[in-house]
A and B are shown apart, each in its own frame.
Chain A
Amino acid sequence: MAHIEFKAVSVAFPIFNAGSRSLKNKVLSISTGGKLGLDAKGVAEIRALDDINFFFKNGERVGLIGHNGSGKSTLLRALSGVYTPQRGSILIEGKTTSLIDISLGINPEFTGRENILIRGSLLGLTRDQIRERTDEIIDFTELGEFIDMPLRTYSSGMQLRLAFAISTTIEPEILLMDEWLSVGDENFKGKAEERMQHLADKSNILVIASHSAEQILKVCSRVLWLEHGNIKMDGDPKAVCGAYFG
């Protein structure tokens, strides 16, 4: 059983670069992105998440919507445990797997087979688990002999297929995604969709950021609308999507 609880969580990025001086002179709220402000020491910062509260219970399928810079990606990363919030507390029960970038760790100089090992390890699989799944992955990608060739010889579509096949072989308790994954040509798409759906069904909690109302309505049981790092609306997909996209 998995669950996630955010209590008054704030995440802010310090900006150390030159120019923070002039930023200090005009602390302002802008139409896109998080809020600019100063931290306690006077360093300029972008408040990407501001006082976020929610509880995701087991079985929930949560969609995140909002404009670019509204805090969706930061929230996904906070959920994956990458960012420790400056204020508030995060409680995550269950193992999270992040499929924000399915190509992370994929190396073009190595063969498909070697990349399965590398990418698989990054996803937290043991060598034995990877060995067990290798044949199934190769089978799914339809790469055939290409699996023992360096990835740089693949077409970009083939590379994506491999990254997709490895990344979706996991058994996540909490699955985090930035947009629904879909790869391949017409033939492959159906197969990939089915696999993706299966993965989503298997996971105890799914959190997905998306700009597609159709996708959100299809998958999610709850939607959070983020704006300037705050939750503007939280509730039934139809109601929230209606307000946001409408």
Chain B
Amino acid sequence: MREKFTQTLLQDILINRQNLSLAYILGTQDIKQRYKRSSLGAMWLTINMSVMIGAMGLVFGRIFNTPLHDFFPYLAAGIILWGFISTVLSEGCMTFIDSEAMIKQLPLPYFTFILRLLWRNLLILSHNIVILPFILWAVGRNFHIEALLVVPGLIILLINLMWMALILATLCARYRDMPQIIQSIIQVTFYLTPVMWMRQTLTGDAGKLMIESNPLYHLIDIVRAPLLGELPSSLSYTVTTLMAAIGWMVAIQFYRQYKHKIAYWV
């Protein structure tokens, strides 16, 4: 058998620069296309997000009776990161299904489509994250040296999202009810994860357990905490790193087993 048909996932990822550049071109094109004929273009991403954060901040700050000085930046960072993670996961479900035409005509490594998805959403994230400095400034706060920890945090987050999206994309290509199920799970998780509400509002051991057993809390926190000038807990780093390692081991095995079937499923 020729190498082409026995490629493992790692070969798929490391295959060559050309597929990286293809993922880059297609991902950028996705964003450009969305705003092609609008005069403000991708700025709309920033504007929409600002409006939403502004409204939510005022309403929920009141409801939870939290000082805006703490709540506003926390909410902004949380919502932006949640948006990134949840979109990657829900669009991840559709990645192979939507790439049907290409999958059935070009023998591209399927991981190219995952990279396209991530790149597209990183572009959106970069448009949204510019809101944060303004909000910090508005409530009289600043970035701290801890903000540098955003870099490792984001890397760990991306490594985790890659294996999750890969497994979801494959599963959803086979079972077409999966995208709906994942969608529901993501929606429920939004309320269970401290994004709109602060950790401190949930007191007691049960509350602590609920938060700390939620992997998404840790994934968000390793990026959010540094942005707000805090150190993520070592528990969060441990959990997310372990998730990345175990997740990838599972994904590699899973992908090896099913990659040949994807073209038949989409």
Say which one of A54-62, A90-98, A184-192 lies at the interface with B: A90-98
Q: Which residue of B lies closest to A117 (CB)?
A: B25
Tell me which residues from 68 to 111 in chain A have a Cβ below 8 Å from any Cβ of chain B.
77, 80-84, 89-93, 96, 98, 100-101, 104-105, 107, 109-110
Contact B25 A84 (CB under 8 A): no
User: Could you tell me the distance between the alpha carbons of A205 and B220 in the complex, rounded to whole angstroms?
Assistant: 53
Q: Mark B104-116, 1 if CB is under 8 A from A, else 0.
A: 1111000000000
Q: Which residues of A contact B106 (CB under 8 A)?
A: 80, 82, 98, 104, 122
Given contacts A82-B263, A90-B5, contact A104 B102 (CB under 8 A): yes
Q: Which residues of A contact B26 (CB under 8 A)?
A: 118, 121
Contact A81 B107 (CB under 8 A): yes
Q: Which residues of B contact A114 (CB under 8 A)?
A: 29
Q: Which residue of A lies closest to B175 (CB)?
A: A16
User: Could you tell me the distance between the alpha carbons of A80 and B2 in the complex, rounded to whole angstroms?
Assistant: 13
Question: Is the CB of A42 closer than 8 A to any CB of chain B?
Answer: no
| Of listed A77, A83, A121, residue having the most chain B CB within 10 A | A121
Q: Which residues of B contact A110 (CB under 8 A)?
A: 29, 32-33, 36
Q: Which residues of B contact A13 (CB under 8 A)?
A: 264
Q: How many residues of B contact A (CB 8 A)?
A: 26
- Min CB distance B119 to A, Å, is 14
Contact A82 B107 (CB under 8 A): yes
- Min CB distance A5 to B, Å, is 10
Q: Which residues of A contact B263 (CB under 8 A)?
A: 77, 82-84
- Min CB distance B11 to A, Å, is 14
Tell me which residues from 84 to 106 in chain B have a Cβ below 8 Å from any Cβ of chain A.
101-106
Partner of B29, one of A92, A107, A127: A107
Contact A122 B33 (CB under 8 A): no
- Min CB distance A40 to B, Å, is 14
- Min CB distance B26 to A, Å, is 8
User: Could you tell me the distance between the alpha carbons of A89 and B263 in the complex, rounded to whole angstroms?
Assistant: 17
Q: Which residues of A contact B33 (CB under 8 A)?
A: 107, 109-110
Tell me which residues from 1 to 56 in chain B have a Cβ below 8 Å from any Cβ of chain A.
1-2, 4-5, 18, 21-22, 25-26, 29, 32-33, 36-37
Contact B25 A77 (CB under 8 A): no
Question: Is the CB of A126 closer than 8 A to any CB of chain B?
Answer: yes
Question: Is the CB of A33 closer than 8 A to any CB of chain B?
Answer: no
Contact A92 B36 (CB under 8 A): no
Q: Which residues of B contact A89 (CB under 8 A)?
A: 1
Given contacts A90-B5, A100-B105, contact A84 B29 (CB under 8 A): no
Tell me which residues from 99 to 148 in chain A have a Cβ below 8 Å from any Cβ of chain B.
100-101, 104-105, 107, 109-110, 114, 117-118, 121-122, 124, 126-127
Contact B36 A109 (CB under 8 A): yes
Contact B103 A82 (CB under 8 A): yes
Tell me which residues from 166 to 187 in chain B have a Cβ below 8 Å from any Cβ of chain A.
174
Contact A84 B5 (CB under 8 A): yes
Partner of B105, one of A80, A107, A127: A80
Given contacts A84-B260, A109-B36, contact A92 B18 (CB under 8 A): no
Q: Which residues of A contact B104 (CB under 8 A)?
A: 77, 82
Closest 10 CB pairs of A and B: A81-B107, A84-B260, A109-B36, A121-B22, A109-B33, A121-B25, A81-B4, A82-B263, A84-B5, A91-B2
Q: Can you give 15 A-B contacts (C-beta < 8 A)?
A: A14-B265, A77-B104, A83-B264, A84-B260, A91-B1, A98-B106, A100-B105, A104-B105, A107-B29, A109-B37, A110-B33, A121-B26, A122-B102, A126-B18, A126-B21
Chain A residues engaging chain B, CB cutoff 8 angstroms: 13-14, 16, 77, 80-84, 89-93, 96, 98, 100-101, 104-105, 107, 109-110, 114, 117-118, 121-122, 124, 126-127, 150
Given A101-B101, A110-B32, 5 other A-B residues pairs in contact with their CB atoms under 8 A: A77-B105, A80-B107, A90-B2, A121-B21, A121-B25
